[in-house]
Amino acid sequence: MLVYLRLFKESFSFAFNALRNNKLRTFLSLLGVTIGIFSIIAVLAAVDSLDKNIRESLSALDSNTMYLASFSFGPTDVPRWKRETFDEISYNEYKFLKANLNGAEHVAFQLFVRRENIRYESEQVSSINTVVVSNEFTDIQVLEFEKGRFYTESESNAGRPVVVIGSEIAKSLFGDFEPIGKKVRLYGQKFTVIGVVKKEGSGLFGDSNDVSIFLPANYVRKRFGDNNKNFRNIIIIKPEKDADIAGLKAEVVQLMRNRRGLKPDEIDTFFISVISGLQDAIDGIIGTMNLIGWVISGFSLLVGGFGIANIMFVSVKERTNLIGIQKSLGAKNKFILFQFLFEAIILAIVGGVVGLFMVWIGTIIGNNLSEDFEFVLSFRNMLLGISISSFIGLISGLIPALSASRLDPVEAIRTGM
């Protein structure tokens, strides 16, 4: 055992000295590996960061939450002309499902409306995200409040002119003054501010709650009517804990078909989208991005590996005489093999470490420039980078090392002379 440890130590020492004595060549050789490792780990880190931020954005919602609408949130086989003939989801259908649907913990109604301007005295915020929902919305998408509260069921049903605003909206309109109880102007009418949503940062899907306002759906319904072509309606369904999701979805379909009087041979005139399906689609996109990153970065690694192999062949050629002298003095083939193999592996690992360092610096810069998007370099990716660079060094140096270890000492000395 001690003999092998000594062999490793001496081989490592020879390899390290050879690299140190040829600094320019060493730098040029590891440059290819550095670029390759930087490329692949940077791509993986970017994809992991995107995946992490997307999942955090969706964490406020139950993955089994369903969205019932006259349009599809994803790809569909129903042609566009057919979809355009579907009736809009109605408030009465929301009330019907809320009263008859089993297995649903909460059912909420939402209208997608255009962006609006909100004013307080001389201050105005233009084109803000306006979320028009029933009171159950806060039970489905959990909202944390900096001040105040969400509107109650009675306020929601009556369509009271009350509004909940995001933290950035509150800051823009009121500055350091207390916003609760203040009257803001919206839709040409005064609304009472009853709540301020806690700051959460920008979202990846649409506008953040920080720059949004929330108001009762029934206010907009009473003001503009149920048949306004500028609005799109949806029903949001949150299943009970441990509910049979497939069964609940089938129940929604059956209730809606009965409500709309659809015949057995007629297709559904509505769509049900589930958050978990969106997550599956995101997983597929993330997987594709990872694959593309591997393919693109693989070419860089291939070039780096060829560069190391080329330099190792040159190194063997230059040190042929030294190899002959070492073997004539009793050096074993294993010693020569490990000497060149270690040289290639050290070269690749150093290049990999430099590449990882560059990615780490990039994540720090990215996090400093972006307040809301977090860039991450996981330990798994760091370990992967070191492993890949070691493997590249091993493969690139194996053939040159084998050729060096098999040299005949006499021929090696004569060739070197």
| 177-198 average pLDDT score | 91
pLDDT tens profile 338-397 = 777 777 777 778 778 888 888 888 888 877 776 666 777 778 878 888 888 888 888 877
The confidence score (pLDDT) of residue 217 equals: 93
Q: Which pLDDT value is given to residue 218?
A: 93
Task: Please compute the mean of the pLDDT values over residues 284-291 and round it to a whole number.
Answer: 72
Cα 164 from Cα 175, distance rounded (Å): 16
Confidence of residue 28 (pLDDT cuts 50, 70, 90): low
Of 249-253, 258-262, 393-397, which gets the smallest average pLDDT? 393-397
Token pair 């940062």 in the structure block, residue: 201
pLDDT at site 93? 92
What amino acid is encoded at 67 in this protein?
Y
Which residues are paired to 2 by β-bridges?
Answer: none
**Residue 188 zone, left/alpha/beta (φ > 0; ψ -120 to 50; rest):** left
Residue 219: pLDDT above 90?
yes
Q: How much is the pLDDT for 287?
A: 74
What whole-number percentage of the chain has pLDDT above 90?
21
Identify the pLDDT of residue 214. Answer: 95
pLDDT at 153: 92
pTM of structure: 0.62
d(CA 113, CA 130): 7
Q: Which two tokens stand for residue 49?
A: 């960061």
Mean per-residue pLDDT over the chain, rounded: 80
36, amino acid identity:
G
Burial of residue 366 (number of CB atoms within 10 Å: 0-12, 13-18, 19+): middle
Nearest to 250 by CA among 137, 95, 103: 103
Judge whether residue 7 has pLDDT over 60.
no
CB-based contact 28:360 (threshold 8 Å): no
pLDDT of 387: 84
| Secondary structure class of 330 (helix, strand, coil) | coil
Residue ranges covered by each domain of the chain: 2-58+281-416, 87-269
Q: 82-86, 227-231, 282-286: which range is least confident on average? A: 282-286
pLDDT at 17: 63
Instruction: Determine phi and psi for 121, rounding to 5 degrees.
Output: 55, -115
Coil/strand/helix, residue 116: strand
What is the mean predicted confidence (pLDDT) over 255-263? 91
Quick one: pLDDT band at residue 92, thresholds 50, 70, 90?
very high
What token pair was written down for 230?
């500028």
Segment 133-140 mean pLDDT: 91
Q: How far is CA 170 from the centre of its chain?
A: 30
Tokens 């007629």 map to which residue? 266
